Amino acid sequence: MSPGKSGIHGFGIFAKQPHRAGDMVIEYIGEIVRPSVADRRERFMYNSLVGAGTYMFRIDDERVIDATRAGSIAHLINHSCEPNCYSRVINANGDDHIIIFAKRDVKQWEELTYDYRFFSIDEHLACCCGFPRCRGVVNDIVAEGQVAKLHVPHKDLIHWKG
């Protein structure tokens, strides 16, 4: 794998060798922190770095991998709504690992991508993947829709019957 200028955003990661569907491609490595720590770092430290993206991978509600200052080049993999890779949490000997697998056969020098399923009901990140089925945002709009249904606007409570 090799970093290079991406057609999607900034720098991305390109396959030096072809991969077969299902191959393990790379592990996403970094420092494991609580979501509150990741939020603070993003807001007060990383947002001020010129041209920096977000190098955070949310494992679950309690753990985020911060790959900004430590980790593998996997942190440069861009998002696509029609990706050639996907991520999975794999438990080995009691430790969780984020592994990026090939979703289909990947040709040499293709840019590697996965679906970030970025979750935020406050912030929408416009997607530049350029694929025909691009949903327009990097966000996971299905999950957001489910959470949004649980949020009843205050004005609706006046006539709310439960």
Interface with ligand SAM by CB under 6 A: which residues?
6, 8-12, 53-55, 75-76, 78-80, 127-129, 138
Residue of closest CB approach to ligand SAM: 10
| CB nearer ligand SAM, residue 116 or residue 151 | 116
The three-point CA angle 135-62-147 to 5° equals 40
Q: Give the residue with the Cβ less far from ligand SAM, 1 or 76.
A: 76
- The least distance separating ligand SAM from the CB of residue 28, rounded to whole angstroms, comes to 10
* Closer Cβ to ligand SAM, 34 or 131, answer by number: 131
CB of 85 or CB of 138, closer to ligand SAM: 138
Write down the least CB distance from residue 32 to ligand SAM, Å. Answer: 16
Beta-carbon contacts of 75 under 8 Å, excluding residues fewer than 6 positions away, are 28, 30, 55, 57, 67, 68
Least distance (Å) between residue 99 CB and ligand SAM: 16
Contact assessment for residue 1 and residue 15, using Cβ atoms and an 8 Å cutoff: yes
E strands in the chain:
2-5, 11-14, 24-28, 31-33, 56-58, 64-66, 78-79, 85-92, 95-102, 113-114
8 A C-beta contact, residue 6 and residue 12 = yes
- Confirm if 78 and 118 have CB atoms less than 8 A apart: no
Tell me how far, at minimum, the Cβ of 75 lies from ligand SAM, in Å. Answer: 5
